[in-house]
Each structure stands twice: as C-alpha cells, then as structure tokens.
C-alpha cells in the first residue's frame, strides 16, 4: 500500500489479490466469510413514499405507501466450503505481521469445522479466544433454542508476542454494579469473551442495505484492542466495508476486498466523504490500479446495470 493512501478497496477474487500482498505486512485481519448457508443472501430495501389516498397513516398524520426500491444479494453457497477457505487462510497467515492477529467471524453451523481448519493452519497454540457475539433479533422457532449468536475465533501469528491494547478497550457497565462498589462501578468493566451487541438497527444511519452487514460497534472493539494506530487492517470479505469504516475512524489504514459489484457500490456511497481512498479494479495478473475514488464506482454501476 502506498504510504499516502488511508484505504484501498479492491474489486476482485480475494485469493488472487491476497497472493500479491507482501508477507508480514498487515497488523490485523478481520473476515466474515459467507456462512455457507446454501441460500442467496438477499435484502430488499423499502422506501416510504407519501401517497395521496391509499397507504398507511404515518409521520404527521400523512399517508404513505411502502415501495420496494431494490434487492441486493450474493450467493452464499460453495461446493466445498473448507476447500474454498483453506488457501485464503494460508495466505492470511503469511501476510500477517509477526505480532498480528486474525479475527474469523462465522456462524454456529460451520464454526466447528472452521476451528479445526484454522488450528491446522495457525497451530492450536495460536488460538487465543472465541468471542460469542450475542444479539436478540429476528424470529424464534418453537422447536429448539432460538440461535442468537455468532462465533468469532481469534488467532495470532505468535502467541508469545501479539498486540492487545488492554488499556484502550472501552469499558462497559457491570451487570450488578451494587456488588463491586462505587469506584469500580463508575469505571466499568472490561468486556469478556461474550459480547452483547445489537445487530445494525433497521432505521439507523449505519444501515447500508447490504445483507449481512455487521455493526460498527463490534469492529471498533476489535480494532481498538488488536491493532495500533497506522497499522493496516485487512478485510478480504468486505461486503459493505464496515471494517474499513471503523479502521478509518480509529486512525488505522485499511485494505478491503470484495468480488461482488453490489458491495463495491455500497462501499462507494459509504466512503464518498473519506479522504485518500484508492479503488482498484483487480485483474488477476498483471495488476492494474485503475484510478481513484468515485470514477471507479461510476464504471461499476454502469457495468452492473447493463
């Protein structure tokens, strides 16, 4: 990455791009690969448009109609999921800095297979934690415990020397502040390996409309704890670019990769105001940087709408 660029966004298959990244050059990797659910991940955005007669009654007593304004999606299916992940994880380990960390975000159906794969690539001694991200949203089946968490595995390159900024982690309130005394209660406690955090709320400013978008709050906590200012933070399953946005806000550099034109469109809108972001349309060898900022977004939109 050029020193000047705060962020780079690559459009292309992540394996080709990872193979071009120099060894030991990245301080932190966060990835949230498709979960192999076998579904097409889709999200339809609905706009509320003021209507003359019909429709429901809403803000200031006016009438509104709900109009679908588009569906975004990507295919969450691979013939052999672990075979797909393995070469990418091998590259991830190679490019991690000697004191670097990788966070691997997955759902409960795939987590166990992935843990064994990751142990094989990083070594069991390099496994530091499993974060349980617990939320409370969506349907509740009546025939089993409603699944309401994701798993995030943490691996480091060197278990004897890795970045963990204990003092920079934002503290959270104690569950029973009365039990710990006023001084401790005021300071709050360090989060444990179980993180209660809402999903991205439907009507929040944060919401981009990309399916499976993760909350900025989760990424901020990861980046604060496991990277240093100016480190490069890499997400090679970038989606809506949450990792890049959190990294930028915290003064880190970022590198994002996605092969879905819709993800690139969302990121172009999300990052429109950010300075020093470079867009790279990756052709597997030779590699051609094709310009900066929104020119590339415009080209992508045109190609995609044909």
Ligand X SMILES: C[S@@+](CC[C@H](N)C(=O)[O-])C[C@H]1O[C@@H](n2cnc3c(N)ncnc32)[C@H](O)[C@@H]1O
Closest separation in Å from C-beta 146 to ligand X: 21
Binding residue (CB under 6 A) for ligand X from 36, 151, 259, 281: 259
- Asked if 8 touches ligand X (CB under 6 A), the answer is no
Nearest of 304, 289, 264 to residue 2 by alpha carbon: 289
Closest separation in Å from C-beta 228 to ligand X: 22
- Asked if 234 touches ligand X (CB under 6 A), the answer is no
Q: Which is nearer to ligand X, 88 or 294 (CB)?
A: 88
- Asked if 240 touches ligand X (CB under 6 A), the answer is yes
- Asked if 32 touches ligand X (CB under 6 A), the answer is yes
The residue range among 65-73, 181-189, 237-245, 283-291 that interacts with ligand X, by the rule CB under 6 A, is 237-245
* CA gap 217, 211 in Å, rounded: 17
The residue range among 119-127, 154-162, 186-194, 205-213 that interacts with ligand X, by the rule CB under 6 A, is 205-213
Contact pattern for ligand X over residues 266 through 305, marking x by CB under 6 A: ----------------------------------------
- Asked if 214 touches ligand X (CB under 6 A), the answer is yes
Closest separation in Å from C-beta 108 to ligand X: 15
Number of Cβ within a 10 Å radius of residue 124 = 12
Phi, psi of 173 (to 5 degrees): -65, 145
* CA gap 241, 256 in Å, rounded: 7
Give Dmax (Cα) for the chain.
68
* CA gap 26, 96 in Å, rounded: 5
Phi, psi of 144 (to 5 degrees): -165, 175
Q: How many CA atoms lie within 13 A of 110 on its CB side?
A: 24
The residue range among 174-182, 255-263, 274-282, 284-292 that interacts with ligand X, by the rule CB under 6 A, is 255-263
Nearest of 85, 65, 133 to residue 237 by alpha carbon: 85
- Asked if 263 touches ligand X (CB under 6 A), the answer is yes
Number of Cβ within a 10 Å radius of residue 112 = 11
Number of chain residues interacting with ligand X (CB under 6 A)? 19
- Asked if 133 touches ligand X (CB under 6 A), the answer is no
Tokens describing residue 174:
């104690």
The residue range among 110-118, 206-214, 244-252, 272-280 that interacts with ligand X, by the rule CB under 6 A, is 206-214
Decide: helix, strand or coil at residue 139. coil
The residue range among 65-73, 183-191, 234-242, 297-305 that interacts with ligand X, by the rule CB under 6 A, is 234-242
- Asked if 226 touches ligand X (CB under 6 A), the answer is no
The residue range among 143-151, 181-189, 254-262, 291-299 that interacts with ligand X, by the rule CB under 6 A, is 254-262
Binding residue (CB under 6 A) for ligand X from 101, 151, 213, 281: 213
In terms of residues, how long is the chain? 306
Tell me which long-range contacts 75-78 makes (C-beta under 8 A, separation of at least 24): 75/34, 75/40, 75/41, 76/34, 76/35, 76/36, 76/37, 76/38, 76/39, 76/40, 76/41, 77/34, 77/36, 77/37, 77/38, 77/39, 77/40, 78/34, 78/36
Residues forming the site for ligand X (CB under 6 A): 13-14, 32-34, 74, 210, 212-214, 237, 239-240, 242, 257-260, 263
């Amino acid at each position: 990455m050029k020193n000047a660029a705060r962020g780079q966004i690559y459009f292309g298959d992540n394996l080709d791009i990872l193979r071009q990244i120099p060894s030991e050059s990245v301080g932190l990797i966060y990835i949230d690969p498709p979960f192999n659910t076998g579904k097409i991940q889709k999200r339809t955005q609905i706009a509320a448009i003021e209507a003359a007669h019909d429709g429901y009654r809403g803000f200031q007593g006016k009438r509104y109609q709900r109009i679908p304004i588009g569906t975004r999606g990507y295919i969450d299916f691979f013939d052999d999921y672990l075979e797909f992940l393995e070469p990418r994880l091998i590259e991830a380990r190679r490019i991690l800095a000697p004191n670097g960390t990788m966070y691997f975000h997955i759902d409960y159906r795939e987590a166990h297979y992935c843990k064994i794969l990751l142990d094989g690539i990083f070594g069991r001694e390099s496994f530091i934690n499993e974060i349980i991200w617990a939320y409370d949203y969506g349907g509740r089946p009546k025939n089993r415990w409603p699944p309401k968490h994701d798993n995030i595995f943490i691996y480091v390159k060197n278990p004897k020397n890795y970045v963990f900024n204990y003092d920079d982690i934002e503290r959270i309130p104690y569950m029973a502040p009365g039990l710990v005394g006023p001084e401790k209660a005021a300071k709050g406690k360090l989060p444990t390996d179980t993180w209660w955090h809402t999903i991205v709320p439907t009507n929040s400013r944060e919401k981009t409309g990309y399916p499976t978008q993760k909350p900025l709050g989760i990424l901020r906590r990861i980046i604060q704890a496991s990277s240093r200012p100016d480190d490069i933070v890499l997400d090679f399953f970038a989606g809506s670019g949450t990792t890049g946005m959190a990294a930028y806000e915290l003064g880190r550099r970022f590198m994002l990769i996605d092969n879905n034109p819709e993800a690139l469109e969302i990121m172009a809108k999300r990052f429109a105001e950010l300075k020093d972001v470079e867009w790279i349309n990756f052709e597997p060898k030779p590699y051609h940087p094709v310009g900066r900022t929104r020119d590339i977004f415009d080209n992508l939109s045109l190609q995609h709408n044909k």
